[in-house]
């Protein structure tokens, strides 16, 4: 499983973030050397993507077997950026404004 841990500082301590305590736990049990880096985005250079057991070159457009997970073709076609801009951002802004 992949965990989006926050970056580490010069001392190797995790910077504050949602997953900071998980990083502390991994350090405590000695897993920090065994972790696979988790990347949020790609710089579109040559490399591979691996998700749901599917390995592809970056740039090969694939749905990563999303229909098998119950994700409709319209969502796949729209893409994550459009979905976030249309759904998640207004919801997050409404929550923020409600504080």
Confirm if 15 and 6 have CB atoms less than 8 A apart. Answer: yes
State the pTM of this model. 0.39
Domain count, the chain: 2
Q: Is residue 59 part of a domain?
A: no
Q: Is residue 48 part of a domain?
A: no
31-82 residue pLDDT tens: 877 777 666 565 666 667 676 677 776 655 667 677 877 888 888 888 878 8
Q: Is residue 94 part of a domain?
A: yes
Is the Cα torsion angle 36, 40, 46, 47 positive or negative in sign?
A: positive
Domain hosting 13: range is 1-42
Q: Is residue 53 part of a domain?
A: no
Same domain, 71 and 37: no
Q: Is residue 56 part of a domain?
A: no
Maximum Cα–Cα distance for the chain, whole Å? 46
Same domain, 32 and 68: no
């Amino acid at each position: 499983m992949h965990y989006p841990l926050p970056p580490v500082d010069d001392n190797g301590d995790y910077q504050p973030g949602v997953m900071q305590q998980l990083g502390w736990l991994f350090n405590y049990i000695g897993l920090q050397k065994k972790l696979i880096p988790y990347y949020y985005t790609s710089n579109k250079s040559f490399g591979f993507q691996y998700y749901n057991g599917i390995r592809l070159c970056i740039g090969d457009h694939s749905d990563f077997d999303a229909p098998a997970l119950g994700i409709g073709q319209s969502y796949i076609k729209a893409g994550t950026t459009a979905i976030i801009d249309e759904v998640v951002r207004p919801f997050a802004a409404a929550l923020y404004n409600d504080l």
